[in-house]
Amino acid sequence: MFTRDGAQWHYLDTGATAQKPGAVIDAMGRALGEDYATVHRGVYSRSAEMTRAYENARRTIAAFLGGQESEIVFTRGATEAINLVANTWGRANLKAGDRIMLSQLEHHSNIVPWQMIAEATGAEIDVCPLTDDHQIDLDAAEAILTERHKLVALCHVSNVLGSVLDAPRAAAMAHKVGAKLLLDGCQSAPHMPVDVTQLGCDFYVFSAHKLYGPTGIGALWAHGDILDAMPPWEGGGAMIDRVTFEKTTYAPAPQRFEAGTPAIGEAIAFAAAAGYVSDIGLDRIHSHEADLVTRLRRELGAMNDVTLYGPAGSAGIVSFAIDGIHPHDLGTILDEANVAIRAGHHCAQPLMDYLEVPATARASFGLYSTHEDIDALLEGIARTRRIFGKA
């Protein structure tokens, strides 16, 4: 990749958002240009064609996850998808005395909605600790879980540590006590094959922009019987069956949860992104990124002033800290050399508290990442050391 002036640019922040391939940009351009019309409303041919394209996008995303198209709800992203579950399934099924289990490494988007719904319903939250190598401690979770737990909401892959959850085991543990399992798949869907049936989860959420697609759209997958039983959240056009001032009836799922004019072009580009990575192969992408992770962890691990976070087998992410150098300073100096990393708390402040650090530096890989990017990062770290008098 290159900067606007043609210099080499080393993008190591795919965990925040992925760069977009031409296939996605082209699909978005066509959807907003020569193909554009509204969906689900017009009787003219272009509207009908756009409606087919929009619903085909739903079918593509469902197939990408191993689900059915009737089980996919388009949302503005994973954050809205979690809020949707909290405010529909949560309000209908949680009451005072019930419990929700989260983990220490969750993104704020998988913490705050549950805190809000717990406050509204009287439910309580338990936090599962981590193992010594910074994975969700499922042995501890199993000891904590009781029949009072109604929901377990866990990150499939940590956005800070890259640690991969044993999702089938988590699902079996949750179901054993009668709880549902929600997986935050933002960092798993772009990096490894995902089959919701094999994972055993009840809800799965992810965002398009981390899957090389556009911002402003994501998806909730849920079992059809669960979606059918969930009440609507937002009211308005598209989610209704019949409206009178006396009573309104609602469309079946998933349309019941998609009020208003949808993100039409974004959905079509989302599907293009899913098709793009599927054509390359998620196994191939995962293997490529694992090779990069292994090398960077080896190089950083040889430095006696570097602390590495997360397990050795992390998925596409390496978080670290250098003694005496704040991650923000490192990120700023690296930017001068056209190396882009993430530095901060990564929307995971409880995890930073757990690790007893204010922030970490994070290099995160994508299918376009190369060993040359790692070379540039290591050269930038060496330069930062010299600037701080640590050569």
What are the strands of the beta sheet with 124-128, ordered from one edge? 72-75, 218-222, 203-207, 180-184, 149-155, 99-103, 124-128
Cα 79 from Cα 209, distance rounded (Å): 12
Cα 69 from Cα 238, distance rounded (Å): 17
Measured CA to CA in angstroms, residue 361 lies from 228, 318, 319, 329 at distances of 43, 8, 6, 10
DSSP for residue 343: E
Cα 45 from Cα 33, distance rounded (Å): 16
The per-residue b/e assignment along 128-153, b for 16 or more CB within 10 angstroms, e otherwise, is bebeeebbbbbeebbebbeeebbbbb
User: Would you say 322 and 330 are in contact if contact means Cβ atoms under 8 Å apart?
Assistant: yes
State both tokens at 222. Answer: 């849920």
Measured CA to CA in angstroms, residue 8 lies from 1, 18, 211, 275, 336 at distances of 6, 17, 23, 28, 12
Angle between helices 371-387 and 282-301 (to 10 degrees): 30
Cα 315 from Cα 327, distance rounded (Å): 21
5: left (phi over 0), alpha (psi -120 to 50) or beta: alpha
Q: Which residues pair with 8 in a beta bridge?
A: 2
Cα 40 from Cα 57, distance rounded (Å): 14
Q: Is 201 a catalytic residue?
A: no
State both tokens at 140. Answer: 């501890």
Which residues are tagged catalytic? 347
